[in-house]
Amino acid sequence: MARTKQTSAKVSSGHPGKPGGKAPRKPIATKSARKTAHVSGSIKKPFRFRPGTVALREIRKYQKSTELLIRKLPFQRLVKEIAQEFKTDLRFQSAAIGALQEAAEACLQMLAQVCEAPEAFPKESKRMVFEARAFTLDISGVFAQSQAKQI
């Protein structure tokens, strides 16, 4: 087979009167147009942590902290409301309400450790309110068990 010389094909440019050159490029969509086209095609799902990751993070956070978990003003209103039933025009020092709040949280913590129905507590069932069955335990038995654990 004989060898022959190849000639290149001439490509006309997009401009009249100018022979050769590159073919004109297709117009590129602007950046915002590309984003809207991409987003409308599929909705991005929000990022979700694996089960238990957030719970472990919250446990570490609350174990490091020393602040009280019950908010101060609602607790103060509750204390004053209960005190009104016994005697009117009572006044409380802020340190006294703080001591009551610490004792109340310690009591709730003991109940949570001994309680046989953890779903009665709000954190386990993703609620903000305690159920009454959480407190149907024999309170004297709870405190006796907690005292035995501390010794």
Residue 20 lies in a domain: no
DSSP state of 28: P
Angle at 115 between CA 113 and CA 116, to 5 degrees: 125
pLDDT at 17: 60
Residue 25 lies in a domain: no
Structural domain harbouring 126: 53-150
Question: What CATH number has the domain bearing residue 70?
Answer: 1.10.20.10
What would the pLDDT profile of 108-140 be if each residue is shown by its tens digit?
Answer: 888 777 766 666 666 655 666 666 666 665 566
- pTM score above 0.75: no
pLDDT at 26: 72
pLDDT at 134: 60
**How many domains is the chain built from?**
1
pLDDT at 3: 79
Region at 141 (left for phi over 0; alpha for psi -120 to 50; beta for the rest): alpha
Residue 38 lies in a domain: no
pLDDT at 35: 56
Residue 10 lies in a domain: no
pLDDT at 116: 61
Residue 46 lies in a domain: no
Residue 16 lies in a domain: no
Report residues of the chain scoring pLDDT below 70.
1, 9-21, 27-41, 115-151
Residue 126 lies in a domain: yes
Q: Which amino acid is at 59?
A: I
- 112 touches 121 (CB < 8 A): yes
Residue 72 lies in a domain: yes
What would the pLDDT profile of 17-27 be if each residue is shown by its tens digit?
Answer: 666 667 777 76
